[in-house]
Amino acid sequence: MGLLTGKKALIVGVANDHSIAWGIAQALHREGAELGFTYLGEQLERRVRPLAEKVDSSLIVPCDLGSDDEIAAAMDQVRDKFGQLDILVHSAAFAKTDELRGSYLNTSREGFRLALDISAYSLTALIKAADPIFSANASVLTMTYHGSQQVVPNYNVQGVAKAALEASVRYLAADLGPRGIRVNAISAGPIRTLAASAISGIRDMIKAQEEITPLRRKVTIDDVGNTAVWLCSDLGSGVTGQIVYVDAGGSIMAVALPNS
Ligand code: 0WE
């Protein structure tokens, strides 16, 4: 028996087999969860569909996180197929690429709105829509990054959005806790996903991690998936409102020097 046998999970944010959401999906599947997926647009549908089939999923629904109507329609399909929802995984973010380089001061009003809408508010919107079908001990998981707490050059408005997302995790955990529903975030070290590959210099950042993190290695989507299993299973029953670092220890270093 897996740790998640009989649990039904919706995964938001698979783009391809490098996605953190895909690492989480595989780990949840391994532990016996039944999975559903959302995708954004036809281009990603062609990527997500074959992956969903690999983990025996037949619930694949479109969902633009910028649209309350699409979120509502997606949750209607989840209700029709699953009845109840035990696990909700949110692993999506968006900022304009030209605001993920150079100075934070260059952030536009529209860029700020967009980044906070898609990267932070969307968690609240998803939970609102899923609320009527959450099971009694449901678990919600989102993804964040340490650029919310300390300055990471070029992360800029996305760091501000992640700070809002992390604060949302605490307020949502307080709202849903009385019903036994938990809300947590994983703060992952840098991983070469589709989103990250659009960032110039990300390869050097990931390479540096291998030299300066306490574990002397990069973080994988499997590392994230395994922590997701803990937080989403009954093993995590006392944990809510937390930001759990899966970063090979990178964030504890005040001074990080290669080869020391
Ligand atoms: O949160 C992220 C990535 C978020 C992201 C990436 C993109 C690229 C493509 C959000 N929006 C977009 N928009 C696009 O058009 N990470 C933690 C990965 C990441 O992004 C960085 C990093 C790291 C690490 C940006 C600058 C510096 C470091």
In this predicted model, which residue has the larger pLDDT, 42 or 37? 37
The phi and psi torsions of 66 (rounded to 5 degrees) equal: -85, 0
Provide mean pLDDT across the span 143-169: 98
Q: How far is the CA of 24 from the centre of ligand 1 (A)?
A: 19
Over residues 85-127, the pLDDT tens digits come to: 999 999 999 999 999 999 999 999 999 999 999 999 999 999 9
Asked whether the predicted pLDDT for residue 130 surpasses 90, the reply is yes
| CB-based pocket (< 6 A), ligand 1 | 93-95, 97, 100, 145, 152, 154-155, 158, 190, 195-196, 198-199, 202, 205
Report pLDDT for 122: 98
Binning pLDDT at 50, 70 and 90, where does residue 147 land? very high
Q: Which of 46, 41, 100, 87 is nearest to 65 (CA)?
A: 41
pTM of the predicted structure, to 2 decimals? 0.98
What is the average pLDDT across 5-21? Answer: 98
65-79, 175-189, 197-211: the lowest-pLDDT one: 197-211
Pocket test for ligand 1, best of 158, 160, 203, 206 (most atoms within 8 A of CB): 158
Output the pLDDT for position 46: 97
Q: Name the E strands within the chain.
A: 8-12, 34-39, 59-62, 85-90, 134-144, 182-188, 243-246
Please identify every residue annotated as catalytic.
145, 155
Q: How far is the CA of 79 from the centre of ligand 1 (A)?
A: 32
The domain 8-247 belongs to what CATH superfamily?
NAD(P)-binding Rossmann-like Domain (3.40.50.720)
Handedness of CA 94, 59, 123, 159 (dihedral sign): negative
**Cβ contacts of residue 30 below 8 Å, gap of 6+?**
2, 229
Instruction: Judge whether residue 200 has pLDDT over 90.
Output: no
- Predicted confidence band at 259 (pLDDT cuts at 50, 70, 90)? confident
Question: Is pLDDT at 161 greater than 80 in this prediction?
Answer: yes
- Cα of 179 vs centre of ligand 1, distance in Å, is 34
Strands 134-144, 182-188: pairing kind:
parallel
Q: Supply the pLDDT for residue 44.
A: 93
- Asked whether the predicted pLDDT for residue 193 surpasses 90, the reply is yes
Amino acid identity, residue 96? K
Name the residue of 100, 142, 166, 197 whose CB sits within 8 Å of the most ligand 1 atoms, as the mutation to test its pocket: 100
pLDDT of residue 233: 98
In whole angstroms, how far apart are CA 120 and each of 95, 103, 124, 173? Answer: 11, 21, 8, 15
Nearest in space to 122 (alpha carbons), one of 86, 82, 94: 94
The larger pLDDT score, comparing residue 251 to residue 42, is at: 251
* Closest residue CA from atom 27 of ligand 1: 155
pLDDT the model gives residue 260: 74
Distance between CA atoms of residues 126 and 70, nearest Å: 10
Phi, psi of 190 (to 5 degrees): -60, 135
Ligand 1 centroid to residue 64 C-alpha, Å: 18
165 phi, psi to nearest 5 deg: -65, -45
Mean pLDDT confidence for 153-157: 97
What is the residue with the minimal CA distance to atom 21 of ligand 1?
155
CA atoms within 13 A on the CB side of 157: 25
Ligand 1, atom 24, lies closest to the CA of 190
Domain ranges of the chain: 8-247
Mean per-residue pLDDT for 3-13? 98
DSSP code of 217? S
Reading the block at residue 85, the tokens are: 């929802």
